[in-house]
Structure 1
Amino acid sequence: MNEAHPAMTSSRERAAWSTSGYLMLVVFLALAFLLVVRIGTFNGESGQVGSFVGGVFLLPLALIVIAKGFYMIQPNQAAAITLFGSYRGTDRNHGLRWVWPWMGKTRISVRANNVVSEKLKVNDLRGNPIEIATTVVWRVADTAQALFDVDDYKAFVFVQIESAVRSIGSRYPYDDIEHMEVTLRGSHDQVNAELRDELNSRLQTAGITVDSCGLTHLAYAPEIAGAMLRRQQAEAVIAARRKLVEGAVSMVEMALTQLSEKNVVHLDDDRRAAMVANLMVVLCGERDTQPVVNTGMAS
């Protein structure tokens, strides 16, 4: 019978006790000066032997204890304080700091980090293979989670970025010529916002927050790039033709309406059809039309 494993408890950052290292440095220098004075004033008299021996052993021990407690924290850096493996808090005060020497100190950077992922091959929503890459700006928000809830938080970030990019890339099509749906190429703001939410959800376990992210590379995979380019060109031509025809029809309709309303000319059905055909040729033709002047004179 298998034994149930206890669930992992999530760590939470809290402030650790520490004091100014500059104050303890003054104490350290005072004790060192006292030790030098003790050694310099010892003249070997029997009454001074006891105090000299006590001072020689106790003062150096105190100096060693104080010296072991010093540590330095730079700006945008923190130190996780532990006591025999137990988390006691995080010190975010930069400068020279001091804690008891038997407490462990693990420094961790809370600065912003920039990661550019490798180009990943993903199938989009329509099954087309595409290449996609992203840049992510992230930082450590909770030092306790980053250090104690995952084994290696930096490696964890890289793996989750790849997983999130693959997930987002498969949710949307690469492109839509009709502009009727959200696409990877045409909806940058929405895709980037969803990618950021996805990453923050995945990295919450490690105490990591994502400040910004965005796609840096997006293209069809080389094996279908040529075919997809031809399809895009064909779709663009069809869309342009459709717009051209729609505009030509509206212009012909407007011309016939105004001719009729202003009584410029009265057209029967045959002449109306001929005029419509001529106007459509003029408006939709790719080449400049050559007008033919009808003088009404028979040869």
Structure 2
Amino acid sequence: MAEFSLGMNTSKEKAASTFNGYAAAGILLAAVLLFFWNIITLEPDAPSAFRGWLLILSGIAALLILPGFFMIQPNQGRVITLFGAYRGTDRTTGLRWIWPWMGRTKVSVRANNVHSERVKINDLRGNPVEIACNVVWRVSDTAQAVFDVDDYREFVNIQIEAALRTVGARHPYDDMSEEDETTLRGSADVINAELQAELNDRLRVAGIVVDEAGLTHLAYAPEIAGAMLRRQQAEAVIAARAKLVLGAVSMVEMALDKLSADGIVNLDDERRAAMVSNLMVVLVGDRDTQPVVNTGTLYQ
């Protein structure tokens, strides 16, 4: 599997210190009411310094509190920064509040489903094949996703294609030999598990976990598809013929043993070989046979 190093300190998610938004909303409401009460009850002919300062402070408090509200839905998080420095991630759902000069970047930690484009690769034997996959992934570390890669969604798409090429090049499309080896077409569970492990290894630097990965399309490239189809047809015919021959040999052996055991007829080696030949033609041939009735003796 591939090993990746960013050449920098890896970010690590931590909890952010934010405030309950409903409590902040109550303070905001009190500040607004105090502001308007001061305006309504202020005596313009004999203004009070205390009332004037109270009016200014309540207005500043309302303006300071209002921009700090934000909402977090289930399976979402907000990455909090202060002048570019990471201050934690808030995953508490509901209405929240933070100082307005602190940055808030929304990051979804829900599962994402990606169906890749078809990729043309060369398998272990150099045959061009088309391959595509479906990947279910999610963000596990919001700090890594936001700070350690530039665009984590684009990063996922690129690494999916790279992992497909890597895994596809490790195995042949099909088993052309007698050896029992892992193939792209015949070992789906093994290939899917290997693809998931490869993706998790590649996406770990972005704080992303792959929950499921599997091939959705696998075929020879069009330029060799016809030749490979003929090869598969030839292999199927050979396998069928081999099974027919084994069955025919067994039936011939059973017939000869039965004839000898019951004493129906005694055959010398020459006639025994002729009988075996005739029975094999009848049993293995792909056309109907035309029997020849011998009205003479056995040796005519």
Q: Same fold (TM over 0.5)?
A: yes
Whole-Å separation in 2 of the counterparts to 1:7 and 1:196: 25
Gaps of 5+ in 2: 1-5
Q: CA deviation at 1:192?
A: 0.9
Give the number of aligned pairs: 293
Deviations 1:40-82 (CA, angstroms, capped at 9, x unpaired): 2222364x51112101211111112211211111222110011
Comparing 154-163 with 281-290, greater Cα deviation is found at 281-290
Whole-Å separation in 1 of the counterparts to 2:220 and 2:297: 63
Query: Which residue in 1 is equivalent to 2:238?
Result: 238
Query: Which residue in 2 is equivalent to 1:181?
Result: 181
Query: Which residue in 2 is equivalent to 1:191?
Result: 191
Amino acid at match of 1:144: A
Whole-Å separation in 1 of the counterparts to 2:107 and 2:92: 13
Q: Does 1:26 align with 2:44?
A: no
Contact 1:119 1:131 (8 Å CA) reproduced: yes
Amino acid at match of 2:194: E
Q: Secondary structure at the match of 2:173?
A: coil
TM-score by length of 1: 0.91
Whole-Å separation in 1 of the counterparts to 2:249 and 2:59: 100
Q: Does 1:220 align with 2:214?
A: no
Query: Which residue in 2 is equivalent to 1:70?
Result: 69
Query: Which residue in 1 is equivalent to 2:139?
Result: 140
Comparing 229-238 with 176-185, greater Cα deviation is found at 176-185
Gaps of 5+ in 1: 1-5
Query: Which residue in 1 is equivalent to 2:105?
Result: 106
Query: Which residue in 1 is equivalent to 2:43?
Result: 43
Whole-Å separation in 2 of the counterparts to 1:35 and 1:264: 121
Amino acid at match of 1:150: V
Q: Does 1:211 align with 2:211?
A: yes
Q: CA deviation at 1:117?
A: 1.5
Q: CA deviation at 1:90?
A: 0.8
Deviations 1:195-247 (CA, angstroms, capped at 9, x unpaired): 01100110000011111122122111111111111122122212221222122
Whole-Å separation in 2 of the counterparts to 1:260 and 1:172: 53
Contact 1:81 1:90 (8 Å CA) reproduced: yes
Query: Which residue in 2 is equivalent to 1:3?
Result: none
Q: CA deviation at 1:255?
A: 2.8
Q: CA deviation at 1:14?
A: 1.5
Q: Secondary structure at the match of 2:77?
A: strand
Amino acid at match of 1:167: T
**Structure 1 residues 180 and 259: CA distance shift in structure 2, 3 A:** farther
Whole-Å separation in 2 of the counterparts to 1:7 and 1:174: 37
TM-score by length of 2: 0.91
Comparing 257-266 with 269-278, greater Cα deviation is found at 257-266
Q: CA deviation at 1:7?
A: 3.9
Whole-Å separation in 2 of the counterparts to 1:277 and 1:186: 38
Q: Does 1:288 align with 2:288?
A: yes
Query: Which residue in 1 is equivalent to 2:3?
Result: none
Whole-Å separation in 2 of the counterparts to 1:197 and 1:261: 63
Contact 2:22 2:96 (8 Å CA) reproduced: yes
Whole-Å separation in 2 of the counterparts to 1:71 and 1:156: 28
Whole-Å separation in 2 of the counterparts to 1:31 and 1:250: 99
Whole-Å separation in 2 of the counterparts to 1:60 and 1:265: 120
Amino acid at match of 1:221: A
Whole-Å separation in 1 of the counterparts to 2:39 and 2:72: 35
Contact 2:192 2:215 (8 Å CA) reproduced: yes
Contact 1:140 1:208 (8 Å CA) reproduced: yes
Amino acid at match of 1:244: L
Query: Which residue in 2 is equivalent to 1:172?
Result: 171
Q: Secondary structure at the match of 2:48?
A: helix
Contact 1:39 1:52 (8 Å CA) reproduced: no
Amino acid at match of 2:211: D
Whole-Å separation in 1 of the counterparts to 2:86 and 2:233: 62
Whole-Å separation in 2 of the counterparts to 1:70 and 1:231: 67
Whole-Å separation in 1 of the counterparts to 2:157 and 2:7: 25
Whole-Å separation in 2 of the counterparts to 1:141 and 1:171: 29
Q: Secondary structure at the match of 1:170?
A: helix
**Structure 1 residues 13 and 264: CA distance shift in structure 2, 3 A:** farther
Whole-Å separation in 2 of the counterparts to 1:297 and 1:226: 54
Query: Which residue in 2 is equivalent to 1:55?
Result: 54
Contact 2:34 2:55 (8 Å CA) reproduced: no
